[in-house]
Structure 1
Amino acid sequence: MTTKHLAAWAATFLVMALIDSLWLGVIAKNLYQQGLGHLMASEPKLGFAALFYLLYPVGLVFFAVLPGAEAASLARTALLGALLGLFAYATYDLTNLSIMKGWPLGLSLLDMAWGTFASGVAATAGGAALRWMGSR
């Protein structure tokens, strides 16, 4: 791993963690509480959350940022990041819809849209960081 790759991961990580924290902790907090409150822990298990926020950006860098950089296109980076987000969040939400009693369809659709958007934005930040580091 090079310094450029680490910078791409760091930018992807920071943006994903920041916007997802804002989304989950402020913007959509009540929606998740209303839809899933009966399943939610009283306190989040931060170790598992940290593991997600450390690993997911690795996937975004590998599957979106690096291919986007190879194509010299931040638009491609954003598209690939958004697609990875759609697939990842759809895996979670559609699986829950298929096996969980009372899992809310509307919240799942919103969550999939959010994952698509957030992943595209985070990957674009990683792509911009990679580009910036390459121009130095």
Structure 2
Amino acid sequence: MSYLKSYLITIVVFFVIDLVWLGAVAKNLYREQLGFLLKDNYNATAAAIFYLFFVAGILFFVINRAVELSSWKYALFAGTFFGFITYSTYDMTNLATIKDWPVMITVIDILWGSFLCAATSLISYLLINYFKV
């Protein structure tokens, strides 16, 4: 398995799915719920670093093992769990420490993170196998 090719597949899948969520589905949700905390312009460097590191985590903790096991089920379930744990860590910390952090955002974001990582893991696993990366 080529780790670089697998990484590139995974980052494209993750970015496209997240872009649909942030750019269309939840376009106004975060601004409405968290407007009091949001900058007018986001920090593109910080966002890029997040994407690079987070996708490396998905690949390291989920997809590589799924490929070793030849198991799309592992990719799906471990991806869901990885997303649930990582997004819960972020959102529950915010809920515990940031004044007026919306519970609704916590719930939506954890569900989104679980789905995003599940979909990314499964689709990336299938593409890696299809292209025999």
TM-score (norm. length: structure 1)? 0.91
After superposition, residues 1-136 of structure 1 pair within 5 angstroms as 4-134=2-132
Kept in 2, the 8 Å contact 1:20–1:118? The answer is yes
Kept in 2, the 8 Å contact 1:7–1:126? The answer is no
Q: What's the CA shift for 1:76?
A: 0.7
Gaps of 5+ in 1: none
Kept in 2, the 8 Å contact 1:5–1:130? The answer is no
Kept in 2, the 8 Å contact 1:89–1:115? The answer is yes
For 1:35 and 1:107, locate their aligned partners in 2 and report how far apart those are by CA, in whole Å.
Answer: 7
Q: What's the CA shift for 1:25?
A: 1.9
Hey, which bits of structure 1, 4+ residues long, moved more than 4 A? none
Q: What's the CA shift for 1:126?
A: 2.1
For 2:64 and 2:117, locate their aligned partners in 1 and report how far apart those are by CA, in whole Å.
Answer: 14
Q: What's the CA shift for 1:132?
A: 2.6
Kept in 2, the 8 Å contact 1:11–1:125? The answer is no
Cα distance change, pair 5–125 in 1 and its aligned pair in 2 (3 A): farther
Matched residue count:
133
The one-letter amino acid of 1:73's match is: S
The answer to which of 9-18 and 94-103 deviates more is 9-18
Kept in 2, the 8 Å contact 1:10–1:126? The answer is no
TM-score (norm. length: structure 2)? 0.93
Gaps of 5+ in 2: none
Provide, for residues 44-88 of structure 1, a one-character-per-residue CA deviation record: whole Å limited to 9, x for no partner. 100010111111111111111011112211111111111111111
The one-letter amino acid of 2:29's match is: L
Provide, for residues 15-49 of structure 1, a one-character-per-residue CA deviation record: whole Å limited to 9, x for no partner. 11111112112211211111101100001100010
For 2:72 and 2:7, locate their aligned partners in 1 and report how far apart those are by CA, in whole Å.
Answer: 15
Kept in 2, the 8 Å contact 1:85–1:120? The answer is yes
Q: What's the CA shift for 1:130?
A: 2.5
Q: What's the CA shift for 1:7?
A: 2.0
For 1:124 and 1:55, locate their aligned partners in 2 and report how far apart those are by CA, in whole Å.
Answer: 19
